[in-house]
Amino acid sequence: VVSDREEPVIAERYIDLFINGQQTVRLMALPHQIEEMITGFLYSECIISRNEDIASLKFNPASMSVEVNLAEGIQPTFSDKIRSVTTACGRGLSFVTALNSDYFKPVTSNLTLTPQIVIDLMRSLQRTSSLFRETGGVHSAAIAENGTIEFCTDDIGRHNAVDKAIGWLLRAGRLTADSINPGILLTTGRMASEIIVKAVRARFAILISPSAPTSGAIQIAETHGLTLIGFARGELFNVYTHPERVAI
């Protein structure tokens, strides 16, 4: 049987980011929670180390642009070319280089969780996103603590969703470069190396996803003390690195 019907479709928009008056990057994203996304992006890219490093952040929905002024004394170095970050599998270029290695110290945390908590958290994440149920066109990211999801967000790009979660932590005053993050990061997307770098930068000890990790992601997670849990589906999941945080 063939029939015509209307279905909700995700709206993606380009968002231009200006830092200290200079156009820096163009992000393709779902146009909500923009302040959180930009804050998380700046932190992930090692442009800021705390929320107070942002003197002002203004989102203009008419022009779909964000103007950020950094605090006095913070002068990041940018490429002469404006880069675009799309929702494709690769992030493309990044401001993060080997010179930023001090920003990615190994995570030391005594946090542990039971297998049932892993199962329950992933089920909760999948139930939380009404936008995914309506459209099937977004990735979700969430922060959980004490077995409960505290914040959940969506975006067309998995890296944007993770940036929104990190930005929420920063804007809530719960994350600095030297803090130990008591939370767990969950994502519905594939765990490639750029997602692992974000998790390490935000000092998470555990990352959970129903999808697969890449070899590069596993290597970074192992080196930096991150417990990587993938294929968390139904009653099963795989622990790829630092299994000591899963109490069996």
Count of all residues that appear for the chain in the document: 248
Strand 65-70 versus strand 83-85 pairing type: unpaired
Please give the structure tokens belonging to residue 220.
Answer: 């970074």
Whether 89 is catalytic:
yes
What 8-state DSSP symbol labels residue 78? -
Q: Could you give the CA distance from residue 212 to residue 21 in angstroms, rounded to a whole number?
A: 39
The closest of 12, 38, 40 to 24, measured between CA atoms, is 38
The strand pairing partners of 10, in sequence order, are none
Q: How many helices (H) and strands (E) does the chain have?
A: 6, 11
> Of 89, 98, 99, 248, which residue is the catalytic one?
89
Cα dihedral angle (38, 39, 41, 44), rounded to 10 degrees?
A: 180
Q: Are 161 and 139 in contact (CB under 8 A)?
A: yes
Cα dihedral angle (157, 160, 166, 171), rounded to 10 degrees?
A: -140
Catalytic residue list: 89
